[in-house]
Structure 1
């Protein structure tokens, strides 16, 4: 099965459309959305409706911290810009969309795979996996051989040997790699809707569950339009600029 893994969509319609079209062209058979469907971007309703449509076809979807934020009146743990967008987003969604978010799980286990938004050791605390130490902690918190997670907004690939040593690869776009059964892996596909590694192109990954082959992709999209929509919605200008700069 060819699984498309997309995370941190952040209400970016243009980026999501581009990634879904890219995955379809490559004959993706299943889809997993790892949370933060909304927040930051200007099209939360459209993005949610699109994800809900994919759920109807069997897609997997997780809760992210921005998704949860829409359900909570006070999110002091978020920075001012994120809080402003959460409050605006809450007013854009209907009751059905909010109920959909409310019922999302924090993690999903699929055979030897774990899907989670932030990390495996405490999914509900939203702590980041942003280095080999945190990657090792997350890998050791699960029995899954391969963990897919988001939250950091940049593509990364970590691996752990039988001896417990953790290493990191820098992913190369469009290059397929085999994930050896002799190691355990943590895959961060990068953000669809708001990349933060200096490259504005949207990110996602494809994983062949039979051949155990993983590919990272960077997908150019109309970031200018997405950025202009953020401004027109009256959302913080820095969020529009991030889309153009890739962080």
Structure 2
């Protein structure tokens, strides 16, 4: 079965729709939404509605730290985080039913040999970034304590990466190339961060997502062009700090 893996949409409806359309061209049969659907962007309610519809069709949907943030939306603390600057606005744009749905989503989900999590599987509630071999190893060990798990998929770090466990305990990094399928045989253990649909931060504004073919055991990372200028204009129209619009335009 082919799974489309999407994370860190961040209320960017333009990017989400572009990735969903691209996924259909790849023969995707099921979706997995790996958290941070909201914050930063101009269309939180619309993005949540898309994800709810995908869940109704069988998608896996899990909770990220920004789903938690919009529940508390405390922007009156000293030096609020970037996410906090849009949390109250996002909270108010969501319906009570949507906020309840976000609050009740799980932190992790297992499907066959796959483990889905937003951040690190060893302590998902701590929102630790899987950004080096050490944290990737902790996350992989925790997920693979379930004997059937061979693949760990997450987001949170807004870039695309892949590690696998070699013949010893050491993790080996693998640099993905957009659109090129990577063989991921089931006799190894793999952990990937799939990048950000709506907030790329590597200097490239194109949206990120990945497709995993569980039958062929192949993972393909994708970059998808979308109307990022329109997404940035929508952010400006809502009166957000200029930085949020510029980030969409530059991918930084």
Task: Say yes or no: does 1:171 pair with 2:176.
Answer: yes
Residue equivalent to 2:24 = 24
Report the alpha carbon displacement of residue 241 of structure 1 after superposing the two structures with TM.
Answer: 0.6
Report the alpha carbon displacement of residue 112 of structure 1 after superposing the two structures with TM.
Answer: 1.2
Secondary structure, aligned partner of 2:143: coil
Report the alpha carbon displacement of residue 215 of structure 1 after superposing the two structures with TM.
Answer: 0.4
Segments of 5+ residues of structure 2 without an aligned counterpart are: none
Report the alpha carbon displacement of residue 96 of structure 1 after superposing the two structures with TM.
Answer: 1.0
Residue equivalent to 2:231 = 226
Secondary structure, aligned partner of 2:156: coil
Residue equivalent to 1:124 = 125
TM-score of the pair, normalised by structure 1: 0.97
Residue equivalent to 1:92 = 93
Contact 2:206 2:226 in 1 (8 A): yes
Report the alpha carbon displacement of residue 80 of structure 1 after superposing the two structures with TM.
Answer: 3.3
Task: Tell me the distance in 1 between the aligned counterparts of 2:165 and 2:96.
Answer: 43
Contact 2:162 2:175 in 1 (8 A): yes
Segments of 5+ residues of structure 1 without an aligned counterpart are: none
Task: Tell me the distance in 2 between the aligned counterparts of 1:30 and 1:78.
Answer: 40
Task: Tell me the distance in 2 between the aligned counterparts of 1:80 and 1:183.
Answer: 38
2:154 to 143, 149, 154: 149
Residue equivalent to 1:58 = 58
Describe the superposition over 1:59-113 as per-residue Cα deviations: whole angstroms up to 9, x where unpaired.
1101010111111143769943310111110110111111110110000011211
Residue equivalent to 1:160 = 165
**What is the aligned-residue RMSD (CA, Å)?**
1.4
Deviation larger for 139-148 or 115-124? 139-148
Aligned length: 247
